[in-house]
Structure 1
Amino acid sequence: MTRTNIPGTSPYEPIIGFSRAVRIGNHIHVSGTGPVGADDGDIAQQTEQCLSLIVTALKNAGSSIEHVYRTRMYLTHTQDWEAAGRVHGKFFSIIRPAATMVVIKELLNPTWRIEIEADAWIPY
């Protein structure tokens, strides 16, 4: 199987040594994606930004949001679950991937309230 690293625009990629996404065969694994560019937004804006960055990564890897089969959401505030969930639902209400939502203490950037990972495939 062929492996392709898909770069993103995160300033952390070269420091930490990671790719926005990795494509192996027809599977794409999108790294934890913070709301870069919406750092000071509310939880809905931050969730929207995370998912928009994931959409771009999937496109660059040859897939799309419709082919996501798994997401993982990391929240820093329990009370944000519903607003984040509504934005997630806007993107995924039809395909309904397997999803996990976990509350953690903090994220890399202290202004971030959410980070999201996704796994998708490319149909042949």
Structure 2
Amino acid sequence: MVGLTGVRRTFSGAPWESQVGYCRGIRVGDQICITGTAPVAPDGSVFAPGDAYAQAKRCFEIIQQALKDLDADLSCVVRTRMYVTDIHRWAEFGQAHHEFFAEHPPATTMVEVQRLIDPAMLIEIEADAIVVNNNP
């Protein structure tokens, strides 16, 4: 089996990472992929059930930490994908996105999905980043 060299991974400790076999983020060279990130509280429960804005914000905080673990920051993010269970709440999700990315907006997509892994989760977010010129 041949693997990639120079691969770095980070884990958030979410219970599904070890159960399913994935990492929170992976960096290969200057490219970083952050896996679908759900609003998980430090104790493993769903963060802020029913609060679309707070859940989105929590997802971005987890993504921000994963980027930091891989020597990057939010300014490196070039694309986000938001999977939401109620598209009518787009402004609440969008407010959190704006707060984290207003100064360096990435390309983004918001798509309504039927449900996420826990019915109390309203959003899950993926992010792709590229580190340019030793940024951060």
- State the TM-score, normalizing by the size of structure 1: 0.95
SS in 2 for 1:72: strand
Structure 1 residue 41: Cα displacement = 4.8
In the other structure, the counterpart of 1:35 is 39
SS in 2 for 1:111: coil
Please list, as runs of the form range in 1=range in 2, the aligned pairs for 1:38-117 lying within 5 A after superposition. 38-117=47-126
Q: Deviations over 1:19-60 (max 9, x none)?
A: 000101011100000000115250000000000000000000
SS in 2 for 1:12: helix
Identity %: 36
Runs of 5+ unmatched residues, structure 1: none
Structure 1 residue 86: Cα displacement = 1.0
- State the TM-score, normalizing by the size of structure 2: 0.87
Whole-Å separation in 1 of the counterparts to 2:114 and 2:48? 17
* Letter aligned with residue 19 of structure 2: I
In the other structure, the counterpart of 2:14 is 10
Structure 1 residue 119: Cα displacement = 0.7
The number of residues matched between the two structures is 124
Structure 1 residue 9: Cα displacement = 1.8
Question: Which protein is bigger by CA-based radius of gyration?
Answer: 2
* Letter aligned with residue 10 of structure 2: I
CA RMSD, aligned part only?
1.1
Contact kept, 8 Å, 2:50 with 2:122, in 1: the verdict is: no
Task: Give the ranges of 4+ consecutive aligned residues of structure 1 lying more than 4 Å apart after TM superposition.
Answer: none
